[in-house]
Amino acid sequence: MADILGAEVDEEGFLVDLKDWTREIAIEMAKTDDIDLADENAELYQERWDVLNLLRDYFEEYQIAPAVRVLTKAVGKKLGKDKGSSKYLYTLFPYGPGKQGCKFAGLPKPTGCI
């Protein structure tokens, strides 16, 4: 079984135990996908963390990783209407806001993600 900074991950790189999540693990995961989550001055740094934090809050509240459609709605509501589009979310997470975003946020793969 593979691991990131000592935390076990599955064959797709998602954390096996969600409690293992740390900011450092997210940074490390993102590095593999050429995304910089460590440098505050990096492009889209705050925008990406806003969505990751929202994903973590969503999971805490509902115990599931949201489908992209639901995430889009939640982002529009919490972070501003202009951001509630899948185009915007794909700019932040080109491999899919659900899949890539949830992975970095330490969530399981979204239910219904096929």
**Annotated catalytic sites, by residue?**
113
Give the residues lining the site for other proteins (CB under 8 A). Answer: 61-64, 66-67, 69-70, 73-74, 111-112, 114
SS3 102: helix
Tell me how far, at minimum, the Cβ of 106 lies from other proteins, in Å.
15
Residue 31 to residues 51, 54, 60, Cα–Cα distance (Å): 17, 21, 25
CB nearer to other proteins: give 44 or 67.
67
Tell me how far, at minimum, the Cβ of 69 lies from other proteins, in Å.
7
CB nearer to other proteins: give 46 or 81.
81
Beta bridge partners of 8: 3
Residue 30: its H or E element: helix 23-32
